[in-house]
Every structure is written in structure tokens, then in C-alpha cells.
Structure 1
């Protein structure tokens, strides 16, 4: 009887050990205030990626006043794209309100763009961005001064690929885009995902296994071996990296150290306190105004 009691107590302690992370890691969603699509002054546009023979669509935001305007082509993050994505809208509205024109293409296979994003290589997605720059050059709705690329999240990986292929890109800005390779990025993300349900030291033991399996999935396999450094080393235009402290999707410190390791010290890097992946300012519950001001200053400071 005494032995059974000891076993029962041991089992209860073990169960409590397993359950504690679920209790203390439980956090509510972070409140994030963003504009809606109805708050954005835009026109729907259509253009063609001639390289891959795809018809693409998107939204063009032109600032008020007379041009010429600095112009950015947005490369969106992983997965499909949606025009009402709040993070995208918060950023493009700030740019438009501060005298910067923006083209945000629908990702291939999303909204009104042809094609399929699943299985698309970064080279192919870069071609879509280049098609956007070609559209800006040919359109007659406004006069532009120069064109750059703003890569958001995964788009930060694709931006240097596009720059390497086009002489029309005058700058790159990467918002929460990684500089580590695909495995390191996914491993970091997996550790944080698993840590919601167990202890960090256990998550670090499990994550390499799940990461290897994830890399074999169709939507990840096309870039499972990607490393941005070879492309970044070929970039010959100004580059600005914006990171959010505490990002659960990319290892911020490792990203900065990797730039330093490869001597890419001319690139501007900024880390915003408690910003996370969405670069949120906790007090205002929206995209960090400091981050956006820095982005605007960087874009307008480009000399052509």
C-alpha cells in the first residue's frame, strides 16, 4: 500500500512537471491596431511577369502632391497574400502618407495574380518583384525618382535575389527578414513553437527533429537549402535591416552577427525594443513609429 502511494505521488509530480509550462506559458494574443483596406487610397493594377509568363495584380498607392516620388515594390512574407493584411497595410500607409509611392503585388496564386506560390522558388518570386519594377517604369499614373524593394519577413530573403538580377533596384529594406540560412531560421521558430507546450530545454532537444521533417514538406522544400549570404555579398546598393527584439520567427542576434561575420558592415541594422516579428510598439499597439521613421529616412536619403 505504501509503495502504491509513493508511485502515485511520483506520477502526480511528473504530471505536474509536464503541465506547469502550459500554465505559465499561457499568454493572450498581442493586441495590434492596424488600418483597414478602406483606409487606404489605392488603385488596382495589372502587369506581367514576362520571364515566367504570369499575369500579376496588385495595389498601387500614390502619395498626394506632385512627384517625382521615391517608390518601393513590396515583397510579402511566406504563404499566400491577402490585400487586407493589417501588417502590410500599416506599413504601406505610413510610406504613402510620407511621400513614398508603393506597389504591393498580390503574391502569385493569391487574390488576382496567376500562378501558385506553393513550390515557387525564391528565384521565381524575385522575378515577380522585378516585374513590379518594370511596371513602375512603364506606368503613366505618376513620376517616380527611383525604385527600391522592401522585403517583409520572408520577403527579406527574396529582396537581395531580386536586386542581383535587376539594375533598376536602388535600395533594399528588410523588415524582420533573416540573414541566417533556412534551417537556422526554421529551427529558431520551431524552438519557440514547441516551448509553448514544454520546457525550453526540451524544446531545443525536439526542434531539430521537427525542423528536418518540416523542410521536406512541399511548401518549404523549394527553399530548404537557401542561404541569403551569397546574394547579400553581391548587393551593391544601400541596405537597411529592421529587427524586432524578441522575434520568435528569426534569431535576431544571430542575424546581426552573421552580417558582421561576412564583413557586411555597410548595411544599416536597427533593433527595436520588444518589437517582435511585427515590429510593434507596445505603448501604441501598432507598428513602431521609430521603425517607420527610420525606414522613411533611409528611403528618402538614397542618392541616385
Structure 2
């Protein structure tokens, strides 16, 4: 859970590729308000499965797919390498906010892995792209069930190896993919976690707030003031007392601080924040460590050493400890100079930090036959 990302998501209906190095969506210029918050996008009356194929790059094939899950229809694109298969397959599980298949990092990973003989599935979260539903009303359990519906579809295809389907969860997807893997331990061949956290979303929100302010040059006192505000907002959620008057009072007292624009978008409306807080109530206390302990497949967890959102010292050790309780094959990879998208930190690059892809390839090559 990256609160800045969720805040942007509820204040604008359209998003474009970020120009900063956060890796998160940002609102486009028309500033149209999201009208899907608080009500679901219309659900299809009946699911009509269909597949439309088209030629991909360098002989690969791209197929549009639709899969039914929890009364919704999930849209995605499956890219297959040349040849009849069956192919091992990676399902990319997206992060927070209104993530779609077209997020640049996921598209780049797909191109790379397809070139190395994997099929790759990217999909749109509920209420985004070609998917119906509403991600702002979706629990982590429901997100994991969506992933399992997609993997079940893949495992039933003749061109996909049923014993070679794995997950790659990024950011918030680093909570979702393990939840799916722990639910069906015999059905998934491997798990890759990119920039995932071993603490609850609420704890990660506080940690991210603190570390981002410190990295931006604010002192400890300023960081603690911001964290105290976040704690107060979290308390309202847990108490079921998310009321605009009280939230406005808290923000009014904090908005004069120099750190405030670093924590909340300057044009944020109180009603939008309250809507977000109600959504966070669905996910903020998810405990990942018991989930990680139930995973038995091979696991690779990758951390960027310069990630401003997921602190390496607070997450790598606990994640490894929990994973080793269930899996005999656990690898923790620390990428020097890499940010939250594993990009070279401090750049606008859509690529990956030196050594990141090579390390991912080496791990997959040692465990997955093509």
C-alpha cells in the first residue's frame, strides 16, 4: 500500500505514465474526478469467454483474455513465445491504485521474459482497463482470488505447462501474490516478490512516510510529526469514525508544515481522503508473515537498496525468516542503487538497475525448464 498512489487514484479519473521516479500513476491534465468510487462499474450480466489473438514482437503471440472472478470479469493480455508449447508462465500481480496491464514496468518485464521462453500474463485490476468491478471495494483476499482464477484458466490451456505457472507480485502485489500462493501450494511452481513488504500495510505506510521525508532532507522531528498524523488517521479508520469534520480538523492543524505537501497531494479534498480511508480499512491490518510461512514453492524476494517506500532493513530479514518456515528454497536479492521499480534510483528510467534482470534470469533459469 503506497498511500500517495491511492490518494492520486481517488482524485483523478485518468492517469498517464509518471515523469518522476516513483513508478506510480499520476493524474493527467483534465482532472476529471473518479466517478467509480463508492459504486461498482456495471458488471456483465453473463460471462462470455473469448480470446482474440494477434502477432506479438519477434514471433510471439498476444491474446486478449477474459476470466470470470467473484462476479466480475478480468481482462488481460497473455503473450506467448514462439512455438507450440506448452510454456512455463509468469502472472504479473500489480501494485496499488488503478493498475492496468500497461504499467511500463510490467510491460517491460513481459517483453523480457517472453524473449526468454516464458508466457506472461498481465491483467487489469477490477474497475480498470477491460476489467469490471471496483478496486476500491476489494479486499486482499478478493484480489488473491482474482489471481487464482487467472492461474486456473492458464493451467487448463494446452499451450501452458500446468506445472510451470508462477507469480510475480510487485509492491502491493507483494502482499497479494503470497496470499494466492499460500492458498494453493500445490498449483504454483514459483513465486517472485519485487519490492514487497513483510509488515502490515499500515506499518508500511508509516515507515514509508518517515523514510521518504528523511531522504528529502527533513529532520527527525518533522518526520515524526507526519507519522503522528498518519497514526491519528489510522486510528479513526480502526474506530470506524471516519468523519469529514474530524479529518478536516487533523489536516488543518498539519497543513501549515513544510512537510505536508510531501505526504498529501496539495489539491486533496477531505471527502476524497475519507473515501480512501474507508478503503484502507479493508486492507491496512493485513498480516503478511503468517501468510509467508505457509508458502512451500521456491521464492525469490527482490529489494532495491534505494527503495524509498519499502525499507530494506525493516523488511528483508523478517521476510526471509518467515519464508524459510515453509519453503526450502528461499533467495533474498538486494539490488544496489535500485528504487521501488528496481529502476536506477534518482532517474526517470523505465529500465532496470544494473544486474537486476540478470539476477532474476539466473534464478528462474535454475528452477524453471523451458
Q: TM-score, normalised by structure 1?
A: 0.80
Note if 1:272 corresponds to 2:289: no
Aligned equivalents of 1:98 and 1:176: distance in 2?
Answer: 23
Note if 1:106 corresponds to 2:116: no
Post-superposition shift, 1:263? 7.1
Corresponding residue SS for 1:187: helix
Instruction: Label 1:43 to 1:203 Cα distance change in 2 as closer, same or farther (>3 A).
Output: farther
Aligned equivalents of 2:106 and 2:166: distance in 1?
Answer: 16
What are the Cα deviations for residues 180-233 of structure 1, in whole angstroms up to 9, with x where unaligned?
Answer: 222321112112444477623123312332322454302322111112100000
Q: Which deviates more from structure 2 when the two are superposed, residues 263-272 or residues 85-94? A: 263-272
Note if 1:210 corresponds to 2:190: no
Instruction: Label 1:273 to 1:289 Cα distance change in 2 as closer, same or farther (>3 A).
Output: closer
Note if 1:257 corresponds to 2:317: yes
Equivalent residue number for residue 123 of structure 1:
141
Gaps of 5+ in 1: 1-27, 33-37
Structure whose CA Rg is larger: 1
Contact 2:207–2:311 (CA<8 Å) still a contact in 1? yes
Aligned equivalents of 2:107 and 2:214: distance in 1?
Answer: 31
Contact 1:46–1:57 (CA<8 Å) still a contact in 2? yes
Instruction: Label 1:29 to 1:163 Cα distance change in 2 as closer, same or farther (>3 A).
Output: closer
Contact 1:45–1:58 (CA<8 Å) still a contact in 2? yes
Select which of 140, 144, 151 maps to 2:169.
Answer: 151
Instruction: Label 1:59 to 1:289 Cα distance change in 2 as closer, same or farther (>3 A).
Output: farther
Corresponding residue SS for 1:88: helix
Select which of 224, 228, 231 maps to 2:288.
Answer: 228
Aligned equivalents of 1:172 and 1:117: distance in 2?
Answer: 23
Post-superposition shift, 1:82? 2.6
Post-superposition shift, 1:156? 0.8
Superposed CA RMSD: 2.7
Gaps of 5+ in 2: 1-18, 24-55, 238-276
Corresponding residue SS for 2:76: strand
Instruction: Label 1:94 to 1:214 Cα distance change in 2 as closer, same or farther (>3 A).
Output: farther
Aligned equivalents of 1:86 and 1:56: distance in 2?
Answer: 20
Contact 1:70–1:299 (CA<8 Å) still a contact in 2? no
Aligned equivalents of 2:334 and 2:133: distance in 1?
Answer: 35
Instruction: Label 1:120 to 1:143 Cα distance change in 2 as closer, same or farther (>3 A).
Output: closer
Contact 1:43–1:59 (CA<8 Å) still a contact in 2? yes
Post-superposition shift, 1:175? 0.7
Aligned equivalents of 1:146 and 1:76: distance in 2?
Answer: 20
Equivalent residue number for residue 63 of structure 2:
43
Instruction: Label 1:268 to 1:130 Cα distance change in 2 as closer, same or farther (>3 A).
Output: same
Q: TM-score, normalised by structure 2?
A: 0.66
Equivalent residue number for residue 85 of structure 1:
103
Instruction: Label 1:42 to 1:168 Cα distance change in 2 as closer, same or farther (>3 A).
Output: same
Aligned equivalents of 2:111 and 2:204: distance in 1?
Answer: 29
Aligned equivalents of 2:320 and 2:147: distance in 1?
Answer: 28
Instruction: Label 1:243 to 1:129 Cα distance change in 2 as closer, same or farther (>3 A).
Output: same
Note if 1:290 corresponds to 2:310: no
Aligned equivalents of 1:263 and 1:292: distance in 2?
Answer: 22
Corresponding residue SS for 1:280: coil
